[in-house]
Chains A and B, each alone.
Chain A
């Protein structure tokens, strides 16, 4: 691990100011992702600004009947919140499908959204990886890429976003609130947070350098039932092979793209009366598997069909 300096921010404004003023600064919340990556020198921040104790860990009602999740709220707190469980069960289920209790106790809302991919070549610093080292090539492209993306990948990067929580938030049409380095508050759809890899897979979000996520805002839950299901090699404590979040007629897919994948084609088909399997087939028409991950096509088709059908049945 490279030597670094550390400060605990006193408030959000001070945090963004420090980030703007200190070269190589990064926020740290639970540290469950960032510290692991620092130990392997995949991340090499020179300065850490601890935002885990900022007063943004609360969960509160919004004026429009939604919920605001503080960026520093732990994954455990969000998944256990009565209001979340009653009104956004898909979110609670998604969080509980991720990591282990120990990780969820430390992991924050913002950190979870910004967790980095689990691509094995990204983790092995002796292999080329455009995400880790821009321009070095993509080790996974011709490699063992069973878990690669089927949507929106590029030759520069075929990695997936591995958050469970973000898939549910995407299906729930959440917004995020931030504080820019100049101290201005911003709000925009979560769907616009992450980028597709294109030629620059090392740039993963549309955040400005040093921009602090302060909250995730959930609109009132859509009508209808909700469900999250994740497919994984073992029963717990494993990244997914694919996942689906359904909230009423809103559908998002996980572990299939560089970002949580809003299944817009499927949603459109559903709203015009298509069956679940027809709708997901529409979505998958846009998929481009690579060989080793071909199985994700039937897997997603079956998984999404089952969950959409199940949710529709429960709503009826």
Chain B
């Protein structure tokens, strides 16, 4: 019998005998979601009527709360309690870990009178109804001693320093190589702050069952949330049961908990009844993390034939004064193109802005917006096709560390994309294709995103009906985790999808890393495969050891699992018959997975190409995407439907990044200006046109036993650059300050005499 740790051996997923692996089956939880019956955290029905907590955000960016007047709020109808830093229940100091192995320390709410960012939650009103709580929240009077916020990123670039513990990565002699290059490019790009804007804002409902805290919250990673809450409440970790069954989008913004969870738990304890607390859409913008702005300087030095001789991308970015998050927008470039002389690094400035943090494809999403446009510009200088320029700089091994690539089909992605898209019809000279008032152009970009595998556990059960239940402390943030786990279980145990149940999003289930960094399916799925293999072995041994089984006495390693039947040659019985007879209480077994010992000997990435056609309205500077195609190589695809949806979703994000998305800071207040979805513009249906994502056949057997890699973030990488390059090809204007809104493009059109 194959073991999952024995990666070379075939396993059910790689054999895929029933063909269910990869099949574009519908979402496991789809019917619940489209009928509105999947309870998201705030909709979970607690055992008794809940009270409603509403948070109040600070209306200064930095300073202290000088005076608090909650009398009016407390006297308002239905109000049960009003908390600020003055009367919030005591919580262990930030970062406290009573349990040394907690993955997250205490995160107290309302720590002190100190305000360190605009919108920081500073008060909580709890009332009998949501309406009463909201109304009373407007009656909390806080007086501040405000300090001048230090928030102007662009003005503070010169003060940015090396992020703690980091160094620039230099290979060869960049300066010398750049100076000696025949063709040079040196340009700077700017990306704005982005907000995650998940459909579902962060929300929690918490109640206590005796000493046990039951918390439903919207979170990407269950274990750290459970640990963090226990540490914050000063209770045993097992005394927190944290659940997150359905999540309306995470994108990295729900990789950590916020005060909604802490306050709901504290208030539920204090009031002795369930409490719900949610962020409003407006509060999400400041009160949770954001993707920080970047300034990226790209320098490319090439020989006349296009081979890069010198390559540099340096990123300036910002984080909260007390934070350390760095948007590593230069990192991805280290594995992308060959060049003997290389310099990449980051500079960080700490500001009185809300907390910066990871957002879908952190690093790549911003970084490709500069480098992949720089490559386009360089191609033009060289008189080379942008696809050809990339192919000429294809490295045989990882250009930074010399490691072999586990799999690298970037060139195939580029070539197949070009062919399918009709790239040969692109005219290299901008501004030549007119369609009425539109100038039409094509652009492309490469996509790359790292691949990770994190340790995970999973349990598999079989019951007397032959139904397989997968249990894992994993999450599904809308990506398809439920579905792919069901597919892995069905293939591994030889049953139909209808005979598989999946229970995830629960801290009492075997721990998994959760969803993030596009490591979810690979990490959780590998553990599921391991558990499935262990259950196969247990079932095989049960059958061959049971005198009443037709398989009795045979070699358990020869047992096959298919169509709900366990068999050895022509001896067989159904799984249900076997279990009902030999193990009527069912069997449950765990499995786990972790990265292979040699994982670090390989450079493992996911790759892709984006091709885009846009129209630029020469009168108004409006840009509309006409069609877009992505071709991706990301290991074995577990479900073509959910994977495609991830990739196209990422591409759409790229369209937003190029054209509309971004928040702006009013430096007088230190606050973000766009606070709802009428002001913060993400693409709508009409913005997208024709869009497709194609996945190449690939199995990356160095990645994990299933040969699977991630797709959740890859689609985002490079997509925006393809749009920007298409704009240039359409009208000859380069805007390097994203998003490329009509006002910016119009200035370029006018300057060109258009």
Contact = CB atoms under 8 A, between A and B. Distances in A.
A238 interface: yes
Interface string B651-694: 00000000110001010110101111011010111110000000
Interface residues of B, number: 39
Interface stretch (A12-20, A73-81, A142-150): A142-150
B545 interface: no
A69 B675 CA distance: 35
B59 A241 contact: no
Contacts of A123: 675-676, 679
A44 to B, nearest CB: 9
A233 B742 contact: yes
Contacts of A287: none
Contacts of A1: 131, 134-135
Contacts of B671: 124, 126-127
Given A234-B684, A237-B684, A295-B743, A3 B131 contact: yes
Nearest to A2: B135
Contacts of A239: 678
A298 interface: yes
B678 A144 contact: no
B750 A144 contact: no
Given A124-B675, A306-B437, A234 B746 contact: no
A231 to B, nearest CB: 4
Interface in A114-131: 118, 120, 123-124, 126-127
Contacts of A241: 742-743
Nearest to B669: A127
A234 B742 contact: no
Most chain A beta-carbon contacts within 10 A, residue among B134, B437, B679, B739: B679
Contacts of A299: 620-621, 742-743, 746
B747 interface: yes
Interface in B33-86: 59, 77
Nearest to A306: B619
A86 interface: no
B673 A236 contact: no
B743 to A, nearest CB: 4
Most chain B beta-carbon contacts within 10 A, residue among A39, A234, A237, A295: A234
Contacts of A235: 624, 684, 686-687
Interface in A1-59: 1-3, 39-41
A3 B675 contact: no
A299 B744 CA distance: 11
Nearest to A118: B678
A126 B666 CA distance: 13
Contacts of B659: 233-234
Contacts of A120: 673-675, 679
Contacts of B624: 235
A302 interface: yes
What 8 A-B pairs have minimum CB-CB distances, sorted nearest first? A126-B59, A235-B686, A236-B686, A295-B743, A231-B620, A306-B619, A235-B687, A302-B619
Interface of A: 1-3, 39-41, 118, 120, 123-124, 126-127, 139, 142-144, 146, 231-239, 241, 295, 298-299, 302-303, 306
Given A39-B134, A123-B679, A233-B739, 20 more contacts: A40-B282, A41-B138, A124-B671, A139-B666, A144-B673, A231-B620, A231-B622, A233-B659, A233-B681, A234-B681, A234-B683, A235-B686, A236-B685, A236-B686, A237-B684, A241-B742, A295-B746, A298-B750, A299-B620, A306-B437
